């Protein structure tokens, strides 16, 4: 009798844990949709293939894009493990609420553009600093390359 109760208890915990995981996944999927991340996921195959796309046949490229697209759930599952480190389900729901506001929608719409432009600024800033320090030390990028050899 004790074994039966223990088995039922373990099954109940297992089912509860699975239901909780399913709820989190459902909430996470809504989060990536309202935050605009879903659109980024859709463009990932093209971005990932940009380095090799000239060196592979169109049929292979198309197969890779199809495979990436069909395995989107795998990427979501991998990213859920990251999201769980930083946000519980209630916090995800709060983020969803934010992204459903006018300013949240504006952020979701423009986030990729902001990141792209900011990254360009970071690169420019880095180059300015590097040139400034090199000049102050009487060096150029070419002279650094020669020093390495």
Same domain for 122 and 67: no
Question: CA-based Rg of the chain, rounded to a whole angstrom?
Answer: 24
* Structure tokens that stand for 9 in this block: 């208890």
60 vs 17 pLDDT, higher one: 60
* Domain identity same for 88 and 116: no
- Are 127 and 147 found together in one domain? yes
Residues in the chain: 149
pLDDT for the residue numbered 147: 64
pLDDT, position 10: 46
Question: For the chain, what is the domain count?
Answer: 2
Residue 114 structural domain: 103-149
Q: How confident is the model at residue 17 (pLDDT cuts 50, 70, 90)?
A: low
109 and 92 assigned to the same domain: no
The pLDDT assigned to 149 comes to 57
* Sequence-ordered alpha helix ranges (H) in the chain: 2-34, 37-49, 58-70, 72-86, 89-99, 102-136, 141-148
Q: Angle at CA 31, nearest 5°, toward 30 and 34?
A: 85
Q: Looking at the structure, do residues 95 and 66 belong to the same domain, yes or no?
A: yes
* Lowest-pLDDT range of 4-13, 49-58, 81-90, 121-130: 4-13
How far is residue 99's CA from residue 90's CA, in Å, rounded to a whole number?
Answer: 14
Mean pLDDT across 31-46 = 83
Asked if 65 and 115 sit in the same domain, the reply is no
> Do 106 and 34 form a contact (C-beta atoms < 8 A)?
no
Question: Strand, coil or helix: what is 130?
Answer: helix
Query: Do 39 and 66 share a domain, yes or no?
Result: yes
Average pLDDT of the residues of the chain = 82
41 or 133: whose pLDDT is higher? 133
Question: To the nearest whole percent, how much of the chain has pLDDT over 90?
Answer: 38
Same domain, 94 and 111: no
Q: Sorting pLDDT into bands at 50, 70 and 90, what band is 11?
A: very low
Q: Return the structure tokens found at 20.
A: 């909780």
Would you state the pLDDT for residue 146? 66
pLDDT tens digits along 93-134: 999 999 999 999 999 999 889 988 998 999 999 999 988 888
Q: What are 81-96's pLDDT values in tens digits?
A: 999 999 999 999 999 9
User: 49 near 64, Cβ under 8 Å?
Assistant: yes
């Amino acid at each position: 009798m004790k074994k039966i109760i223990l088995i039922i208890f373990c099954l109940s915990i297992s089912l509860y844990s699975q239901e909780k995981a399913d709820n989190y996944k459902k909430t996470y999927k809504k989060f990536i949709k309202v935050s605009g991340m879903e659109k980024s996921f859709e463009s990932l195959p093209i971005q990932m293939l940009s380095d090799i796309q000239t060196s592979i046949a169109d049929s292979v490229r198309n197969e890779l894009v199809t495979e990436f697209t069909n395995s989107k759930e795998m990427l979501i599952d991998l990213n859920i493990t990251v999201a769980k480190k930083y946000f519980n389900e209630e916090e995800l729901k709060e983020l969803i609420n934010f992204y459903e506001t006018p300013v949240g929608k504006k952020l979701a719409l423009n986030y990729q553009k902001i990141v792209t432009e900011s990254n360009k600024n970071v690169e420019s800033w880095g180059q300015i600093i590097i040139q400034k320090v090199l000049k102050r030390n009487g060096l150029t990028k070419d002279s650094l390359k020669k020093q390495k050899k």
